Amino acid sequence: MVGSGSKPTNHSIQPFQRRKSASPFFRITNQTARRWSLSIY
């Protein structure tokens, strides 16, 4: 239980840092994805 409990903490810390640096990138990808889905559909 201790091992599995310490793992989630590390995983939750990594995504947080990535989200901060990937925040603007995710927004751009989201807009492009919406345009792509519109053109495909």
Range of the domain at 20: 1-41
Domain total of the chain? 1
Scan for tokens 């990535």, then name that residue.
18
Looking at the chain, the whole-number percentage of residues with pLDDT higher than 70 is 32
Cα separation, 18 vs 36, in Å, equals 25
Instruction: Judge if pTM exceeds 0.95.
Output: no
Cα separation, 36 vs 34, in Å, equals 5
Q: What is the pLDDT tens value at each position of the chain, 41 positions in all?
A: 455 555 555 555 555 555 555 566 667 777 887 787 777 65
Rg (CA), the chain: 16
